[in-house]
Each structure stands twice: as C-alpha cells, then as structure tokens.
Chains A and B, each alone.
Chain A
Amino acid sequence: MSGHSVVQHFLTLRLLPALLVFSLAAERLAAEEVDVAGEQGASGLRVILLQDYNTRVVLFGATVLGLASGVTGSFTLLRKRALTGDALSHASLPGVGLAFLLAPAMGVSPKSLSVLLTGAAISGMIGAATILFIRRLPRLKEDAALGIVLSVFFGGGVAILTVVQRTAEGHAAGLDSFIYGQTAAMTSGDAFVIAVTGLLTIAVLLAARRPLTLLCFDEGFAACRGYSTFLLDLLLMACVVLITMIGLRAVGLILMIALLIIPAAAARFWTESLPRMIVIAALIGGCSGFTGALISALAPGYPSGPVIVLVCGLLFFLSFLGGTSRGVLIRSVRRRRLNDSIDREHLLRGIWELREGDACGVSEPPSPAAGAEELLKIRSWSVSLLSRQILRAAREGLVFQRSDGAVVLTDRGRIVAERLVQNHRLWELYLITHADVAAGRVDREADAIEHVLEPELIERLKKLLYSRSAAPGIPSSPHPLESATPVVSEKLDTAEGGA
C-alpha cells in the first residue's frame, strides 16, 4: 500500500527533525531557566487550570486545527495525494514574506495574521497550479512535480524572509515562527481565525463526503455519474490549502504535513469504515493539537509544531500497536487463534482417521478414541503442544479423556471431525483429478488449504467430484494413511539416520 511508504517518509523525514528542533529549544530554555523558573511555576498552574482567557482560546484554536487536519487528511490519504499537502505548505512561505513587504503599500497592517495568511494561501495556490502544470508536461511524473515546487518555493520563501529580517519591524514580526510554529505568538484574534476556518473546512468536507468518497475510491465511476473529478480535486486541494494556512501559526510549514497524514494513517489501524476513520483521525489530530499547544503554553520558547507532531507520532505508534482493526497486537492474536484452530482441526481429524478402519462391519461403531502415542506418530507435534490442544478441545466439548488416557471424540467432536475429513479428502481428490498433483503429495497440499475452504467452495467441490464417484458421504482417502504420509516417513528417516 502506498500509504505505508508515505508513513515511512514521515517517520524519517519529519519526526526526526521535530525531535531535533525540540531538543535544541530545550537546551536554549535550560540556559534561561534560572531567570524564569520562579515565574514559570505560578503561570504553569494557571495554564493547566485554563484560567487564562488567552490560553483557552489558543488551546481551542489548536484543537480545531487538529480536528480539521484529521478530516482533510483522511480524504487526501485515501486519494493517495497525501504528499501534495507538503508541497503546498512549503509553497506558502514566499506568500508570507511578500504579504509582509507589500501590506504597508496597500494600506493594511503587515502584522495582521489574516493578511499574512492570505499571502500564504495565494502562493500556496500558485504552487498547486504549478504542480498541475508540471505534471502535464511529458515525461515528468507527480513526484518530480512535488519535489520541484516544494524546494523552489521554499528556497524563494527563505530568501524573501532573509530580506525581511534585516528590516527593524521585520525582525520584530517573528515571521520565522511560521517555519516551526509558535502558539505562544498566537493572539486570541489569531485563534478565532483558525477556529472559524477549521470549522468551515470540516463543514465543507462533510457536506461533500459522498462525491469525495466516490472520487477517492473509483475516479472513473465518479466521472461517469456526472461528478466533475477536476472540481472535486480542486475542492479537496482548496481545503488542504486552508488547513495549511491556519496551521502555519501553530505547527509551522515544515511540519504541517505531519498533521495531515499521521492522524489519518493512524486511524486506519482502528477501523475499516470510512465515517469512523474520519472521526478517529479528527480525534487523534485534535488531541495532538490540544496537547502540543498546552505544553507550548506551559513552557514558552518551545516551538509548538514539533511538540504537536511528536504527540501525533506517539499516537500513531500506539495505534500501530494497539489498533483494534489492523494493529500489530490484534493481528498476532488473530494469527495465534488461527494456528490453534488449525492444530485442533488436525487433532480431531487425526483421531477420526486412526479409527476409520475399525468401524467397518460394526453396526454401532464406538466413539473414535486414540492414545497420545498414536497421535504423536501421525503429526510432528511435541508432547506439550498435543496435551495443550487436547485440553483446549476438551474445554470446547469436542473430546474427552478416558481414564486410560485415550482421547475420545464426543458426538459433537465427531460431527466436526467428519466434516473436516470430508473437506480434506474432497480437496485431495480435486488436486489429484483436476490439478495433476501426485497422490503422495496431496495430503500436505490439502493440509494447507482445507482450513480456508468456504462452504460455497465445498459445495462446488462436491458437485464436481460426486458426479464421478457413486458414493456420497466421506470419500476414502486417496493415499495410504498413517505411516505412508510424508511427514511421518521423513521423521522415520531421520530417526534411523540418528540411530
């Protein structure tokens, strides 16, 4: 899945710089610590209790930013355009610098956030248009377009900012905070702009969720149903530009893309349903935004961007491990369960096949029973594995252990065993008659596949095979049982060799 490579890209290219910036800031802060320690204790308490009006709005703004990024990111990730956001955020930097330089000439304050963000949005859009243009050129692919736009616009932005920094008021404006994000520099007015834009973006995306879902899943079908894929892509792109723009203050342009990808990628570990994925991504984003802004408020001087991204990364890691749908843990539990059930099926089938011959000619055959030694012979099981499987099967009421130690199938166990033997042999027969597999090998081949045969497939196997042989029910084994099975013969070979 391409989502994975995108995630890898982040873990290396985005989280590491975030850590670096964070540790540099920590050092700087440690140097100043002596002066501010006393002050900090008192204000920290005020921050945690949310007594400051300003802290409250800033936290609210950062949270809405995270929510909106989660929603937007879910769609761009599924559209496989996740990295476009990275190019767009880098492309916004020249706009910030130019807006600052040009604002006085147009009679507006260069310090107003809306002015700077409008500049950012315009240059971001120009970046997006450039990507579309380069992609249309023959022999240049999307990755090249993204790389070119990202680096050239960012280079231009840094050059303009250097000029701005030389002027007195430019230096004071703190434009460089747009690169790494600084919630401390956020005023309540800024937070208001962020919250309104974020909520608006969420509303637009939710209203267009159906066409967007169709676009992400099946572009061709969306187009033939009369949706303009060009306009829908443009809408999605516009939302990315808006989110990036309001994210500049809190997260900064270098790390903004993390907030667009990580929550959505993390949400994928929790669910297989798109609406739920969007909600979870929004929650992860919102939680990261809140925590990041809180830490930044507690310790002014820490850039908030890296903190937000690190919280995001932590939540991603937790989702990767514990996600209830695709997490590593749940998958290993599922694999264990599958292996257990395969072993149990082998146990039942083994007991039944050992006693298969005995039932001949007896009108009321006894329940199939087998001793542990016999069972150990037919499978390459260890004693402990076998006894564990016997205990499990007994707990499920499929077998019970007689006083002489023999394992006996219960009525239910016998029904299950008969079905398993039938499936196994049907598949063996199929392999021999239809796939030209040698009779000596089919046991092993069937072993691997019989556990995943669906009822529908079994019905078709029956139809196919029973029309040839007269007797329905359980077909006899196409190969000699017990000692002739490959597993056992191999084991005997090695035993003889050892002796």
Chain B
Amino acid sequence: MSETAVPLSIRDLTVAWHRKPVIWDVEFDVSAGELVGIVGPNGAGKSTLLKSVMDLIPRVSGRIEIFGRPWKDQRQRVGYVPQRESVDWDFPVSVLDVVTMGLFGRIGWLRPVLKRHREAAQRALERVGMGEYADRQISQLSGGQQQRTFLARALVQEADLYLMDEPFAAVDAATEETIVEILREMRASGRTAIVIHHDLHTVPEYFDSVMMLNMRVVAQGKTEDVFTRENLERTYGGRLTLLEEATEAMRRQEKSL
C-alpha cells in the first residue's frame, strides 16, 4: 500500500536538454514528514529535477515513483509551487481566481465554481496571511504576496507531497516567516516538502535533510551530517569540474553540426 511507500523515490535519473545532459545519475529517497532542501549553483539542474519528477520534461533514463507508483497515478497527491517569475503577473485575474486554479482538477471543465470551492480558496489565502487580498488584482501584488498566492494555490490541493521551486527567492521577511511556518505545519501533519533553496545560511534551520546538487548529487542526507564546508566547496567549487567541461564540449559539438 502507498502508506508504506516513500513519498518520492528516484533511481538512476538522467535528463538531457537538446542532448546536453543536465543532470546525471540522480538517486534520491525522501521519507514521509521530511522537509528537504535542494541546494546548488545556477544551472545545477535543480528546477530540472523537480520538473522531471512531474514528467514535464522527457528523461533519458531513470525511474521515479511517488508513494510507490508512477507520477500519472499520483498527480493529485503532489502540489507544485513554480518560480513566481515563470508567469506574467499582468494577467486579468484576481488573487482568489489564482488560488481557485488549484481546484480546477476537482471542479472539472463545465461545472460552476461553487461556494465551497471559493471558501476553500479563501481559507488557503488566510493560512498564508493574504485573506484581505482575495479580490485584489494580481498585478498589484508585491513579490512576497505573489509568492504567498502561489503557495495558497498549492495548499488548496491538500496534497501529501509538495515541490517548491525557490519559494524564498527575493521575498520580504514576513513572507519568509509565513512560508517557514507553513512548512513546519506540513511536517507536523506528516506531509513532505522538497524545496529548492538558495540561501545557504538558513538551510540548517529550515531543513531536516538536504540534497546538494551540481549536475550530479554531490551529497545527500541529514542536514547535520552532510551540510559541511567540504561538501559546499565540492558543490559550488569555483573551477569547472571535468563533468561540466565534458558537457560543454558536447554542446559545442552539437552546435557545429
């Protein structure tokens, strides 16, 4: 049964973009009720990893299971918080409309949005401290409020596993506090969250385990065990690694064909 299966298990995952490998040989297991941080330099393949979990990009090899089953059977149990820069905030919808989008799967194509749907969206907004902003036009939101709106849209799904792409990027202190609080509530209720994170100072405070990624997994495990200066240097090391040089050579060759 899915209760005994781990929330996310990745075996032998390799993803390539136009034949240029982006991540190699990722092996990864997440236990239930864990807050996992993914850190690594720009272009390390962090977003790619999340997207390949959701089958948004094709993979070269690898098997990914969510609670013991493939993605397409478990979609409803996964909530996704994309990077907020990925959308045009000048879109003609209100904050409540955006949060309601998290319920579209449940509402269906033709049935009207009912009062209980709107109430669920409103509750999610209140959880992230945005209750008063429900009717606000999304173009009027600050960066932190945009992020909280996205978080509310994922919360309203009541998923068991959350994937978040840089939720803490360029947000104000109040938003950061809110997100941390929500993450801890999730953990307390046995939910799991995998969060791409860029602020190394707060990693030990926020996350139970950490995955250090730079095209391949440099280290992973309990934060206190693996989040060491030595591993950080290996992850963010200034000089190009052999691996990167090899991929760069492949990319150049591909272009010259």
Which A residues fall within an 8 A CB radius of B?
Answer: 1, 78, 80, 138, 207-208, 210-211, 213-214, 216-218, 220-221, 223-226, 268, 271-274, 277, 456, 460
Contacts and interface: CB of A to CB of B under 8 A. Distances in A.
A273 B80 contact: no
Contacts of A226: 72, 75, 105
B109 A224 contact: no
Given A220-B51, A224-B54, 8 more contacts: A78-B92, A217-B101, A220-B56, A220-B80, A224-B80, A272-B94, A456-B174, A460-B174
Contacts of A138: 18, 255
29 contacts: A78-B91, A78-B92, A213-B93, A217-B87, A217-B93, A217-B98, A218-B87, A218-B101, A220-B56, A220-B82, A220-B86, A221-B80, A221-B101, A223-B54, A223-B56, A224-B54, A224-B75, A224-B80, A225-B105, A226-B75, A226-B105, A271-B92, A272-B92, A272-B94, A272-B137, A272-B139, A273-B92, A456-B174, A460-B173
A207 B111 CA distance: 10
A212 to B, nearest CB: 10
A257 to B, nearest CB: 21
B60 interface: no
Contacts, number: 69
A225 B72 CA distance: 10
Contacts of A272: 92, 94, 137, 139
A225 B137 CA distance: 24
A210 B93 contact: no
Contacts of A213: 93, 101
A273 B91 contact: no
A273 to B, nearest CB: 6
- The residue in B78, B88, B92, B105 that gathers the most chain A C-beta atoms within 10 A of its C-beta is B92
A216 B90 CA distance: 12
A273 B255 contact: no
A225 B79 CA distance: 9
Nearest to B80: A224
Contact of A210 (B91, B98, B104): B104
Interface string B137-174: 10100000000000001000000000000000000011
A458 B72 CA distance: 47
The DSSP consensus for interface residues of chain A is helix
B82 A221 contact: yes
A268 B80 CA distance: 29
Nearest to A459: B174
A221 to B, nearest CB: 6
A227 to B, nearest CB: 8
B107 interface: yes
B174 A225 contact: no
A211 B105 CA distance: 9
A273 B93 contact: yes
Contacts of B54: 223-224
Given A223-B56, A272-B137, A217 B107 contact: no
A214 B104 CA distance: 9
Contacts of A225: 75, 104-105
B92 A214 contact: no
Contact of A218 (B56, B72, B86, B173): B86
B166 to A, nearest CB: 13
Given A1-B90, A272-B137, A218 B82 contact: yes
Contacts of A208: 109
A274 B96 CA distance: 13
Contacts of B75: 224-226
B114 interface: no
B110 interface: yes
A207 B110 contact: yes
B92 A268 contact: yes
Contacts of A214: 101, 104
A138 B173 CA distance: 42
Contacts of A460: 173-174
A213 B80 CA distance: 18
Closest 9 CB pairs of A and B: A224-B54, A224-B80, A272-B137, A218-B87, A274-B92, A217-B91, A220-B82, A226-B75, A210-B104
A221 B105 CA distance: 11
Contacts of B78: 224
Contacts of A221: 80, 82, 101, 153
B18 A207 contact: no
A217 B72 CA distance: 23
A336 to B, nearest CB: 20
A483 B198 CA distance: 48
Contact of B56 (A217, A224, A277): A224
A211 B174 CA distance: 33
A385 to B, nearest CB: 30
Contacts of A216: 91
A165 B81 CA distance: 58
Contacts of B105: 225-226
B57 to A, nearest CB: 10
Contacts of B88: 1, 80, 217
Contacts of A271: 92
A47 B86 CA distance: 52
Contact of A207 (B72, B90, B98, B109): B109
Interface string B63-102: 0000000001001001010100011101111100110010
A211 B109 contact: yes
